Each structure stands twice: as structure tokens, then as C-alpha cells.
């Protein structure tokens, strides 16, 4: 019996060409009874690891290769036989990518010389050099081209590729190719150049082709394939089509048999230690040395845990990984760069002792097994946050330390989401541009709604159905490759022998063709070197405190029981604090009333999209407040969920529930965790659900309860924090709250100098600082630096807060000032030669009030002044400057215009008198308003949110001179006054007071803007 | 003259397997002696879908002609006759 293995198969990682994921292709091959399958995407191995994982799960032998684009645009199919072939393939593809223009890889035939070991070449599709010459009637040239390939690959590793897609000339082309092969004594092989798993994929393939060429389908005919035959064919069908060439079918199996390499680099991934010392011994030494200082008490318990972890690390051979991370952290600390580890790493006492993390795992019952267990097959992950301004120094160090050829940035795939799908598919189907635009704007991740929506006016129902179906199919397919924010890959062997490289936008940087998941599955080292502005702010705050108070608080040694921190948390007084400042967090804080660090950890973990989607938040808070009893879906869950009142809050708990109730092994549970955190398909989750329910029922749990518990777990899907990660974040939140409570001036200054960051704009931060007794001084051309500074116990705003004041302009002011203070406007202009527009902004910002508080008069004076302006390389904001009388109220407004904030007062003061007269409440009054009473409130709109989980509800946060006001707008109310809600800087809102456990909201019924 | 029907002219066709064996046209029966080419087209699904198997055949009556099997409507049509 003749078998068949597909050796030429494109997945969606042939970007905007292949229409099926590697998983779907594998699944189809399995259904067809194929023992093996190759993945051969264009110019890359992007999908190789996903393909590998899927094939392994389905028991299919995976073959890896790529269809390389040669100079001149012709194609050549390359398959890797062994490790040498893999390395050659990666090196060739890398070179083609790096020397070609971005996104257009070009491989030169000459590069193949000496690089064909372990590679099998097939002559390719119609775009192959040999077939295309035959199609052009150039038999001699075709023979010459084939001979060239034979010289490069030898007679055993070159096959003439035959394809048949029921095109008119397929028969004759096949005959010509077979004849040529015969002449040159080369073997033939049948392939099918697959672009989608089943026939119905051809529509999406056509759409992708149209998108790639940026034309609607109607104009895409020249690029489209003539029929829908490019799907994975059955063995029988291939046998029929190649009946005249039985050898071509046999060759597929022969090649499949020869190709035996897998992208599994476990074991040789780690760079060796510099002095070749034993990594296990070295790690143990470092940890044991650090133990007494970190654990003055509980030393025995710590030592015991340490020895346990060291054993597991030795078994999993990961000491080198820890040392590598330690080395980077040490570098940063030596240079005074603030760094904090997080992620599951915080579960480990080793990481704590090495200074990688600063959360004591013993004190917080963190589970080491979540980080690393002897049976887990995956690399643990450690994420490092660095002070944002200095992260680049760390990256440079990694490059220097391990060599540029061993370090690359991890990629991410930008995939089709609802909005991009609507735009691209709509355009391809030729829907009117305004309709596409409206659809794209109106949608926010509601696939369900879209699928049932009726066609908009002007779109035929047939087209609409196609549009909806295709949007659904394209979702999740990769659209282009991008660079990961901080993921770095470090390898022992040269990187380009492991994975193909591409150009990154930043000169000299390369990005690898795998994302984090692929890297992890290939057993390679990845490190997240991230930047966190909060750390920059903390760093700056510590420096300011040291300068002003002569002490530098040691955050690592900070006791976690500071009363001021918890008082602020219980009042939801958290503006400017890390992680707990958002409106959702504040409302939760009022209910949670955190009393200890443990509470803060839960707080950080629970206000996340994950727990929200699992509907766990409300029960949790009701239980916390004693409004409902703590119950468990089943008694066996009590030990796991007791600490969180019967609710799943942490990822660790989800995993333990899977093990205890669903009977999952630790390995299985880990697979579930990864499936959840990787946004895996619904089918995959369904299979986990089945397994879980079966396991639970085997233990006597009813189906109903088992399904409910699984639904709660799945609610985590993508977003649940692991406890250690939450603890690490909670520690940073604690530190910011501590600094904010005890050094409010320095903290406010540091925050203002590290914008944009967090949830609120600077004007809210200033308002908040002022309410906490911090004096904020306006910009002053004789006193302000570029950044904000602490000046006599107050924060002096920096020149950079004035619109248009860029680095060059600031430098001019500072330099000119070195010769002495400016004596007046004329002196200032003469010495700085700043353009008039900038000087105007400085006046309006109050920067020259010292000379004349009447800013309008100053502007007048400026108008009459003659001086030589020097242009600056910068763009002034287009909005002009208003010339109005300048009493205090308007002065405040002008400051908003020029700086986006005001140091002299709150915008609401301007209209307070009028508002009082109209009976409008302030944020302070609102605190005393009764539940259900009708009120009017007013404030500046500081935050406007419409979370996708909120079903059209919009949440506004208003600020007045006393604090914040939370407003909830129902979808119908929002729609009725859309322009008012979205267009006004200051709103007067009418509505009903809603009080829930200390949180006060105004449920809006109407609004008007204040002009 | 080469009669040509861009949308096909429906003709009765005797089929064996998926191949045409004979057809009636111009009040005459034409038996397929030889298939000189066959191909498949599948496109325009977003407008007016076309999915056809084309057969270029030589008949015992000395015609060279193109027939197609419309796979959507499951009907046979004559597209072109070279006389």
C-alpha cells in the first residue's frame, strides 16, 4: 500500500497567506491518518514549536522546514534532517532575514555552499526556479538550475517536487519535471503546497491574500489561486493524482523517515559559568552565605527550606539559570539601578536570598512547587522590573556579558482582534469604508454580539454572513511580528543555530522568530527585563529623602505593619500608589479594609479581570464584610480556600483545586495553568473541563458542583495572578504607600517627574498632594529646574510642565540663568532668545508672576518687545493662547491651558460660587449624602472608563478641590448625552446616591457641561 | 466559427465516474473519444460563486470542445466548441 506524508505545508505563520494554525493542521493530518507532517512556512520557523507541541500531543511525527525565498523571488523548500540541518536552516534563514530588507527575506544560492549538511531540498511550488523555467518553456535553463542545486545538495538530498492542484497545466508540468529528474538521475517527490486544513479554508486564504496585497477581493484576482484545492488531501486522493508516479509518493515516507530533529534544547540551553565552577555548589554557597542576614530569626526553618529548594534545583539542573539572573541583578544593584523580581520566582527562598526578589516566601506561605517542581518540564520564569530610565544599561550589560551572538529579543505576534478583523475583512469584502469604520469603532471585544447582529443598512445579508464568519475565523491569526517589551533569550550556542533571527526596528537589535511560549516549550532560557516607572519614582523619592532628611529608608528591611499605610488603604486614600490607586481598587479597598500585608496581597490579586470574570469578587467582599457566610462548594476545598474565604483568588489555588478535586497530577495541573494563561482555545479548555469533571465525579462530587468549580477556575483563564506575583506587587504598593505617607513632598515630586504613569493625570496627583498638605509652587523662570524639585519643603514645578518646553528650550533657560537671575521679561527674552510662543506659555503658566502678577499685562508687554528669537527644533501645540482679563480664576484656567495643571488653585474654584448657589454638592458634601437621595455634583473629568466587562456602562471620575467623585453612567443615559459625557472638561452631573459598604457612587441621570 | 457560451449552455451529459462519456448538442449525440485536458476553478465566492470542473474533450464527431460540470448546481454545460 502506498502511503503519503505531506512535506509542503504552510500554516498561519506564513503571515497573511496560510489560513490554518499549526494545531488545526496537525489535527487534520491525524484525522486523515497521516503518520507525519511537515511545517514549511515562508522564510521562517515561527510556528515550529507550536507545531512540535501539537504534533507530539497527537502522536504525529513532526518534520521541520521552511520555504525560502531566493534572490529573484523564486522559492526553494528546505527540510531539516538532523541537528546539523536545523542549525544550517536557522543560520541561512537568519542571514536571509538580516541581510534582506525588513519583512523581505532573500536567500542567496551562494550562501548555501558549505551550509547544506543535514538539509533536504525540494524544488518548490510553481514559484520554484526549476518549475517556473519549465512553465516558461525554458527547458535548458531549467536543467541548468537543477544541476546547480544538485551541486549544492548532492544526489541524495535533492528531490524534484511534483504537485497537482487540478490546474490546466499541472499534468504537463508534472511530466516535464519527472522527465528532467530522470535525465539528471534525481528522485521525485509528491507534495501539495497546503495553505489551509480543509477546503472551506480557501475563503479565508483568499481574504488573507487580498489583505496582503492591500486590495479588495474584486481586484485581487491576479493574486488569488484559481481553485480551492490547497487543503490537506487524503492519502487516497494523492494516490489517485499521482497514480502515474508511485515513486513520488514513496519518497514522502522516505524523507519523513530521514527527518528526525526536534526543537528541544533542554539541557544545552544555559551558558556555562565563567570560571567553569560547578553551578550547584556556587549557588548553594551564595545562598548559605546570605541566610543569616535575611533570617536573623527562624533560621532553622529557612535553612531547611533552602536545602529542599537546592535539591530540586540540582535535579532540574537550573542552578545556572538562577546564577544568571543573580548576576544581572547584582550588576544592577552595583550600579544603583533599582530592580525587583516578580512572577512565580517570588515563591522561592533561593531567589529571596540571592536578592532577586524581596518578598520573604516563608513569611507569606508561598508555595515553591508553583515555581519549580522536580517533575515540571518547563523552565521557571523570573521577571525582573528595572527602574525605567536605566533598563537600557542592563540590556547592554547582558549583550556584553553573553555576547551579541548569544542574545536576542523575544518576539510577540500581533494577532487579529475584533477591531482589526473588522477593518481588514470588511475592506477585503468591499464593504463601504464608512460602515467598516463605524463597525470597528463600535466594537470592543464582543464577538458574541457581532455574530448575531443584523446587517447594517447598505450591506446585503449574504455578504454580511460571510463577513461575520470570516471575522470569526481570522481572529487570533498572527498579523505581524513585533518585539516583546522586555523578553530576552540567552543561549549557550550561537542563537542563529537555534532559531532564525530577524531585524528589529532599533539598529543593532535582533529579534528571534519565537515568542515566549515557544521559547518555554523549546526549553530555552528567557528573561523578562522590564521597565517600571514606579521604580524610577521610588528611586528618585529615596534620593530626595536622603538629601532632605539625611536618611535613606531601607525598603528591603521595612516592617510591613506601618499604621499610616493601612489607615490610608482603609480610607481608599491611594492616589499615586502602585497597583491600588485605580477606581476599582479604591472601591474594593473600602470594603476590604486591609489590616495587614496578607490583606494587601489579596487586594492586589482580586481586582483583576480574571477574578472579576469568574464572578468571585462580590462573594468575596460580602464574606469579608460578614454579609454572607463562608461556604465551600465541597468540603474538600476548605483547606485550599480557607485563607480567601472560600473563593479562588490565586493561581496556586486553582492548581490545587485541579489536583485535589479533579484528580490532576502536578504535571497535568501545570498544563492546565499554562493553557489558562495562554488564552488557549475553547476546545482545549473543554477537554480540560471534561477531564476535571470526570475526576471530580470519580471522587463522589456531583457533576453540577464539579462544573461550577471548573467554571470558577476557568474564570481566571488569562489573568489570575499567582500569589507570589501578587505578593511582589503588593510589596511595591506597600513601599509607595509608605513613602507617600511619610515623605509626601518627596514622593509627590518624584511622581510628577516620572509621568506618564499609573491611573491619574498629573493634575489629579497635584490636587491629591495638596489635600495632604503638600505645597505645590508654580513654575518660576528664576527658580524652576527642568524637572520638579523640592524647594524649602514644597514641590516646585519644573519647566518641562510648560507646553512646548522641550530639552533644548529648558537648557537655554538654565544656561542663561547661570550668569545670574533674570531681571525681568525683557532681560529674559534677550538672554534666552526663546520663541515668543514659548514665552507666552511661560507667562500664562505663572512662570513670571514674580515680575508682574497681571499676566495679561505681561503678554501685552511681550507683544511690544523686540528681541532676536531663535527657533528651536520643536513643535508648538497648535491651540492658541487666549488673551483675556486675568483675575485669579482665569489665571487658573490659563495655567491649565499652558501646563495641563495648576499650582495656584483648582479649576473648580473658578466656578465654585456659581455651583454653590445652584445647590451643587462638593465631593466632601457627597460623603454625607443619604443613600437614594437625588443630588447634583460637579467636577473636572479626570478618568473616563468603559471596561469591556461592564456591558456598556461608563465610569467617570470627577475631581473637585476636595477630592474625587465616582459617577456611574448607564448605557442609555450615556447614549442620550454622548457629546456632553465625552466632550466636556467639567461636568455637572445629576443623579442618585448609591452607597455600598463605604463606597459612594452617583448613578447619573443627566449631565451638562460647564463652559 | 467557434460557438462560445460564457455562462455555459446546459446540455444532457452521460457521466461515468466523474468524467463525461457522451453529450447531446445540436440534435446529435457526441461521444467522448479522448480527454485532452481537465482543470478545476473555484472562485468569486464573495460575489457570484463559481465552482466548476472543466473537461476539454475530443468527440467521435470530430469536435474539440470544452464542457464543465457545475459543482454547485450539479449540472453539465457546454462552454465552447472549436469547429
* Cα–Cα distance for residue pair A961/A929, rounded to 1 Å: 18
Structure ipTM: 0.95
Asked if the Cβ–Cβ distance from B46 to A463 is below 8 Å, we say: yes
Q: Is B71 on the interface with A (CB under 8 A)?
A: no
Chain A residues near residue B40 by CB distance under 8 angstroms: 166-167, 226-227, 229
* Cα–Cα distance for residue pair A82/A67, rounded to 1 Å: 17
Instruction: State the nearest Cα–Cα gap between A166 and chain B, in angstroms.
Output: 5
Nearest to B41 among A217, A226, A430 (CB): A226
DSSP H or E stretch at residue A931: none
Nearest to B41 among A171, A227, A430 (CB): A227
Residue with cell 498579523: A479
**Strand residue runs (E) in A265-397:** 339-342, 383-387
How many A/B residue pairs have CB atoms within 8 Å?
Answer: 43
Report helix, strand or coil for A939: strand
Q: Is B34 on the interface with A (CB under 8 A)?
A: no
Q: Is B28 on the interface with A (CB under 8 A)?
A: no
pLDDT of residue A876: 42
- Total residue count of chain A as it appears in this document: 1011
Closest CA to A249 of A258, A267, A237: A237
Q: Is B38 on the interface with A (CB under 8 A)?
A: yes
Asked if the Cβ–Cβ distance from A430 to B38 is below 8 Å, we say: no
Report helix, strand or coil for A779: coil
pLDDT of residue A923: 86
Instruction: State the nearest Cα–Cα gap between B31 and chain A, in angstroms.
Output: 22
Asked if the Cβ–Cβ distance from A227 to B38 is below 8 Å, we say: no
Nearest to B40 among A166, A217, A218 (CB): A166
Chain B residues near residue A228 by CB distance under 8 angstroms: 42, 51
Report helix, strand or coil for A255: helix
- Sign of torsion, CA A687 A692 A697 A703? negative
- Total residue count of chain B as it appears in this document: 83
Chain B residues near residue A168 by CB distance under 8 angstroms: 37-39, 54
Asked if the Cβ–Cβ distance from B37 to A203 is below 8 Å, we say: no
Q: Is A195 on the interface with B (CB under 8 A)?
A: no
C-alpha distances in Å from residue A224, one per residue of A103, A217, A227, B41:
21, 9, 8, 11
Q: Is A364 on the interface with B (CB under 8 A)?
A: no
* Cα–Cα distance for residue pair B5/B81, rounded to 1 Å: 9
Asked if the Cβ–Cβ distance from B43 to A221 is below 8 Å, we say: yes
Report helix, strand or coil for A624: helix
Mutate one of A19, A166, A174, A470 to test the B interface: name it (highest B CB count within 10 A). A166
* Cα–Cα distance for residue pair A502/A479, rounded to 1 Å: 16
pLDDT of residue A880: 32
Q: What residues does A69 pair with on adjacent strands?
A: A75
Q: What angle do CA A910, A914, A918 make, to 5 degrees?
A: 145
Asked if the Cβ–Cβ distance from B39 to A221 is below 8 Å, we say: no
pLDDT of residue A353: 95
Would you call A137 exposed, middle or buried from its count of C-beta atoms within 10 A (0-12, 13-18, 19+)? exposed
pTM for the model: 0.81
Report helix, strand or coil for A42: strand
Chain A residues near residue B47 by CB distance under 8 angstroms: 217-218
Report helix, strand or coil for A528: strand
Residue A150's CB is within 10 A of a number of other CB atoms, namely: 16
Closest CA to A155 of A188, A202, A190, A111: A188
pLDDT of residue A377: 55
Instruction: State the nearest Cα–Cα gap between B62 and chain A, in angstroms.
Output: 22
Q: Is A228 on the interface with B (CB under 8 A)?
A: yes
Which residue ranges in chain A fall short of pLDDT 50? 1, 445-448, 874-886
C-alpha distances in Å from residue A231, one per residue of A29, A193, A197, A201, B18:
11, 8, 5, 8, 20
Q: What residue spans of A852-964 are helical by DSSP H?
A: 855-864, 888-899, 907-917, 923-926
Helix and strand numbers, DSSP H then E, in chain B: 0, 7
Instruction: State the nearest Cα–Cα gap between B54 and chain A, in angstroms.
Output: 9
Q: Is A221 on the interface with B (CB under 8 A)?
A: yes
Residue of B nearest to A227 (CA): B42
C-alpha distances in Å from residue A767, one per residue of A789, A915, A936, B24:
17, 19, 22, 90
Amino acid at each position: 500500500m502506498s502511503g503519503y506524508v505531506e512535506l509542503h505545508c504552510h500554516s498561519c505563520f506564513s503571515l497573511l497567506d496560510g489560513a490554518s494554525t499549526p494545531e488545526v493542521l496537525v489535527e487534520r493530518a491525524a484525522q486523515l491518518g497521516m503518520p507525519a507532517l511537515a511545517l514549511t512556512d515562508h522564510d521562517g520557523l515561527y510556528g515550529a514549536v507550536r507545531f512540535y507541541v501539537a504534533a507530539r500531543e497527537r502522536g504525529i511525527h513532526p518534520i521541520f522546514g521552511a520555504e525560502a525565498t531566493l534572490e529573484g523571488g523564486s522559492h526553494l523548500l528546505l527540510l531539516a534532517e538532523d541537528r546539523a540541518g536545523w542549525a544550517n536552516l536557522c543560520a541561512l534563514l537568519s542571514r536571509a532575514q538580516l541581510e534582506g530588507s525588513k519583512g523581505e527575506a532573500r536567500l542567496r544560492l551562494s550562501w548555501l555552499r558549505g551550509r547544506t549538511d543535514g538539509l533536504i531540498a525540494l524544488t518548490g511550488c510553481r514559484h520554484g526556479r526549476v518549475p517556473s523555467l519549465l512553465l516558461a518553456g525554458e527547458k535548458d535553463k531549467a536543467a541548468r538550475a537543477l544541476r546547480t542545486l544538485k551541486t549544492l545538495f548532492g544526489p541524495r538530498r535533492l528531490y524534484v517536487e511534483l504537485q497537482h492542484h487540478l490546474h490546466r497545466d499541472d499534468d504537463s508540468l508534472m511530466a516535464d519535471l519527472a522527465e528532467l529528474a530522470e535525465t539528471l538521475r534525481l528522485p521525485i517527490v509528491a507534495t501539495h503546497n497546503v495553505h489551509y486544513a480543509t477546503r472551506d479554508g480557501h475563503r479565508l486564504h483568499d481574504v488573507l491574500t487580498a489583505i496582503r496585497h492591500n486590495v479588495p477581493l474584486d481586484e485581487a484576482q491576479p493574486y488569488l489561486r484559481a481553485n480551492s484545492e490547497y487543503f490537506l488531501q487524503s492519502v487516497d486522493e494523492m494516490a489517485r493524482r499521482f497514480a502515474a508516479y508511485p515513486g513520488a509518493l514513496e519518497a514522502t515516507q522516505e524523507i519523513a523517515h530521514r527527518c528526525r530533529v526536534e526543537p528541544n534544547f533542554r539541557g544545552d540551553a544555559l551558558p556555562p559559568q565563567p570560571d567553569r565552577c560547578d553551578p550547584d555548589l556556587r549557588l548553594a554557597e551564595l545562598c548559605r552565605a546570605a541566610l543569616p542576614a535575611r533570617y536573623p530569626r527562624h533560621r532553622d526553618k529557612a535553612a531547611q527550606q533552602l536545602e529542599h529548594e537546592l535539591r530540586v534545583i540540582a535535579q532540574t539542573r537550573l542552578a545556572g539559570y538562577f546564577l544568571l539572573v543573580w548576576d544581572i541583578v547584582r550588576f544592577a544593584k552595583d550600579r544603583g539601578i533599582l530592580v525587583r523580581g516578580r512572577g512565580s520566582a517570588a515563591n522561592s527562598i533561593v531567589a529571596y536570598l540571592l536578592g532577586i526578589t524581596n518578598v520573604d516566601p516563608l513569611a507569606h506561605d508561598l508555595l515553591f512547587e508553583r515555581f519549580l517542581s522536580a517533575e515540571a518540564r518547563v523552565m521557571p520564569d523570573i521577571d525582573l522590573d528595572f527602574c525605567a530610565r536605566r533598563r537600557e544599561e542592563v540590556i547592554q550589560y547582558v549583550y556584553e556579558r553573553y555576547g551579541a551572538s548569544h542574545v536576542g529579543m523575544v518576539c510577540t505576534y500581533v494577532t487579529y482582534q475584533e477591531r482589526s478583523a473588522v477593518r481588514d475583512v470588511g475592506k477585503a469584502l468591499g464593504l463601504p469604508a464608512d460602515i467598516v469604520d463605524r463597525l470597528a469603532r463600535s466594537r470592543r471585544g464582543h464577538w458574541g454580539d457581532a455574530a448575531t447582529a443584523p446587517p447594517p443598512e447598505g450591506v446585503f445579508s449574504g455578504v454580511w454572513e460571510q463577513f461575520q464568519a470570516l471575522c470569526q475565523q481570522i481572529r487570533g491569526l498572527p498579523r505581524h511580528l513585533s518585539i516583546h517589551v522586555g523578553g530576552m533569550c540567552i543561549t549557550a550556542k550561537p542563537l542563529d543555530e537555534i532559531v532564525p533571527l530577524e531585524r528589529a526596528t532599533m539598529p543593532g537589535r535582533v529579534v528571534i522568530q519565537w515568542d515566549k511560549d515557544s521559547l518555554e516549550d523549546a526549553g530555552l532560557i528567557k528573561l523578562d527585563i522590564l521597565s517600571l516607572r514606579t521604580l524610577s519614582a521610588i528611586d528618585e523619592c529615596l534620593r530626595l529623602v536622603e538629601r532632605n532628611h539625611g536618611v535613606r529608608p531601607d525598603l528591603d528591611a521595612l516592617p510591613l505593619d506601618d499604621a499610616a499605610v493601612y489607615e490610608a488603604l482603609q480610607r481608599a486614600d491611594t492616589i499615586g500608589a502602585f497597583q491600588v490607586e485605580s477606581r476599582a481598587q479604591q472601591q474594593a479597598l473600602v470594603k476590604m479594609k486591609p489590616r495587614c500585608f496578607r490583606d494587601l496581597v489579596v487586594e492586589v490579586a482580586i481586582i483583576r479581570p480574571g477574578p472579576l470574570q469568574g464572578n468571585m469578587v462580590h462573594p468575596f467582599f460580602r464574606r469579608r464584610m460578614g454579609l454572607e457566610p463562608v461556604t465551600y462548594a465541597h468540603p474538600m476545598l476548605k483547606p485550599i480556600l480557607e485563607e480567601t474565604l472560600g473563593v479562588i483568588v490565586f493561581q496556586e489555588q486553582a492548581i490545587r483545586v485541579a489536583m485535589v478535586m479533579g484528580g490532576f497530577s502536578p504535571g497535568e495541573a501545570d498544563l492546565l495553568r499554562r493553557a489558562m494563561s495562554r488564552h488557549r482555545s475553547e476546545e482545549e479548555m473543554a477537554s480540560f473541563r471534561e477531564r476535571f469533571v470526570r475526576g471530580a465525579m470519580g471522587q463522589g462530587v456531583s457533576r453540577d458542583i464539579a462544573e461550577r468549580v471548573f467554571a470558577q477556575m476557568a474564570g481566571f483563564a488569562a489573568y489570575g495572578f499567582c500569589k507570589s506575583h501578587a505578593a511582589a506587587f503588593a510589596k511595591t504598593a506597600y513601599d509607595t504607600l509608605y513613602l507617600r505617607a511619610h515623605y509626601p513632598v518627596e514622593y509627590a515630586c518624584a511622581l510628577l517627574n516620572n509621568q506618564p504613569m499609573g491611573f491619574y493625570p498629573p493634575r489629579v496627583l497635584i490636587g491629591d498632594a495638596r489635600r495632604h498638605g503638600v505645597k505645590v509652587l508654580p513654575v518660576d523662570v528664576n527658580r524652576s529646574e527642568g524637572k520638579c524639585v523640592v524647594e524649602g519643603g514644597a514641590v516646585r514645578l519644573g519647566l518641562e510642565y510648560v507646553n512646548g518646553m522641550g530639552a533644548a528650550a529648558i537648557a537655554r533657560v538654565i544656561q542663561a540663568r547661570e550668569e545670574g537671575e533674570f531681571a525681568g521679561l525683557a532681560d529674559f527674552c534677550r538672554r534666552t532668545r526663546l520663541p515668543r510662543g514659548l514665552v507666552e506659555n511661560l507667562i500664562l503658566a505663572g512662570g513670571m508672576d514674580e515680575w508682574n502678577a497681571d499676566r495679561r499685562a505681561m503678554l501685552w508687554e511681550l507683544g511690544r518687545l523686540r528681541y532676536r528669537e531663535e527657533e528651536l527644533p520643536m513643535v508648538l501645540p497648535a491651540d492658541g493662547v487666549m488673551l483675556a482679563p486675568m483675575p485669579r480664576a482665569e489665571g487658573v484656567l490659563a495655567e491649565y491651558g499652558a501646563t495641563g495643571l495648576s499650582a495656584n488653585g483648582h479649576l473648580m474654584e473658578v466656578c465654585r460660587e456659581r455651583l454653590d448657589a445652584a445647590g451643587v454638592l462638593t465631593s466632601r458634601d457627597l460623603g454625607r449624602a443619604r443613600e437614594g437621595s437625588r443630588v447634583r455634583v460637579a467636577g473636572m473629568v479626570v478618568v473616563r472608563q468603559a471596561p469591556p466587562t461592564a456591558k456598556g456602562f461608563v465610569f467617570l471620575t470627577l475631581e473637585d478641590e476636595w477630592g474625587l467623585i465616582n459617577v456611574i453612567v448607564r448605557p442609555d443615559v450615556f447614549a442620550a448625552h454622548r457629546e456632553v459625557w465625552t466632550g466636556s472638561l467639567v461636568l455637572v452631573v445629576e443623579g442618585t446616591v448609591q452607597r455600598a459598604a463605604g463606597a459612594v457612587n452617583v448613578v447619573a441621570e443627566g449631565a451638562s457641561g460647564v463652559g | 466559427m467557434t460557438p462560445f457560451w460564457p455562462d455555459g449552455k446546459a446540455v444532457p451529459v452521460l457521466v461515468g465516474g466523474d468524467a463525461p462519456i457522451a453529450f447531446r448538442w445540436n440534435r446529435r449525440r457526441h461521444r467522448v473519444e479522448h480527454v485532452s485536458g481537465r482543470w478545476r476553478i473555484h472562485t468569486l465566492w464573495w460575489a457570484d460563486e463559481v465552482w466548476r470542473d472543466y473537461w476539454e474533450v475530443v468527440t467521435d464527431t470530430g469536435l474539440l470542445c470544452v464542457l464543465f460540470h457545475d459543482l454547485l448546481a450539479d449540472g453539465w454545460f457546454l462552454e465552447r466548441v472549436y469547429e
